Amino acid sequence: MNNREIKFRVWDKQKKAFNIKDSMFLSVDGFQTLLLRYPLENDYLRDCIIQQYTSLKDKNEKEIYEGDIVETIYADENHIGEIIFDINTCAYRIKTKQNLLPIITYRFDENYNPKGFLQVVTLIVGNIFENSDLII
């Protein structure tokens, strides 16, 4: 079993801030545990947006979550876009104004043989709640 860390962060729509103390964490170590400060039926959750950790980090070791706005280099071009979960491909993607880019792609050698994976996200520059104007 892969012991990848599964985490979520919570955006509080009323306070217009990430509410770290009320965030949810799920540990996957053979047992699944959900820790939440408030019960699920609480009205508090209606005013929250829950975003999942992608298990990736940017070049500054900052965790990348859904809703983050990131800089990326893809097909030798710079892009800025939002991290989303694409239900059609069941994968995290980077949504720009014009494109839907992969968050991870194949790396090829000079003969176009696959050499592993390449993370295309380089830097988190904001999030959709506080910096939506960054997506141009």
Per-residue b or e along 22-60, where b marks 16 or more CB atoms closer than 10 Å to that residue's CB: ebbeeeeeeeeeeeeeeeeeeebeeebeebbbbebebee
| pLDDT single digits (tens) 9-43 | 888 888 888 876 555 555 454 444 444 554 555 56
| pLDDT single digits (tens) 114-133 | 777 777 788 999 999 998 88
Considering only CA atoms, which of 130, 118, 136 is closest in space to residue 12?
130
- State the average pLDDT over residues 89-102: 90
Predicted TM-score (pTM) of this structure = 0.76
Question: What is the residue extent of each domain of the chain?
Answer: 6-134
| pLDDT single digits (tens) 52-61 | 889 889 999 9
Q: Quick one: three-class SS letters along the chain?
A: CCCCCEEEEEEECCCCEECHHHCCEEEECCCEEEECCCCCCCHHHHHEEEEEEEEEECCCCCEEECCEEEEEEECCEEEEEEEEEECCCCEEEEECCCCEEECEEEEECCCCCEEEEEECEEEEEEECCCCHHHCC
pLDDT of residue 31: 46
